[in-house]
Amino acid sequence: MPAKKRKVDGGWLQVQRERHDLGPEYSPPPPNSMHMFADVMPGVMKGMGLESPMRVSDLKPKWPDLVGATNAKHSRPGHWEKGVLTIYVDHNVWLAELKRNASVAILKRLKTLYGKDAPKSLRFQIDPGEDVDEWR
pTM to 2 decimals? 0.61
Element (H, E) at 88: strand 84-89
* CA–CA separation, 23 and 56 (whole Å): 53
Q: Domain locations in the chain?
A: 49-133
Per-residue pLDDT of 18-40, as tens digits, reads 888 888 887 776 767 677 777 77
Q: Report the percent of the chain where pLDDT is more than 70.
A: 81
CATH of 49-133, one of 2.30.40.10, 3.30.300.180, 3.40.50.720, 3.10.110.10: 3.30.300.180
**Per-residue pLDDT for the chain (136 aa), expressed as one digit of tens each?**
555 555 656 677 788 888 888 888 877 767 676 777 777 777 777 677 666 777 888 888 989 988 888 888 999 998 888 889 999 999 899 998 888 888 889 999 999 988 888 889 999 999 887 654 443 4
* 60 half-sphere exposure, CB direction, 13 A CA radius: 9
Number of Cβ within a 10 Å radius of residue 98: 20
Amino acid at 25: E
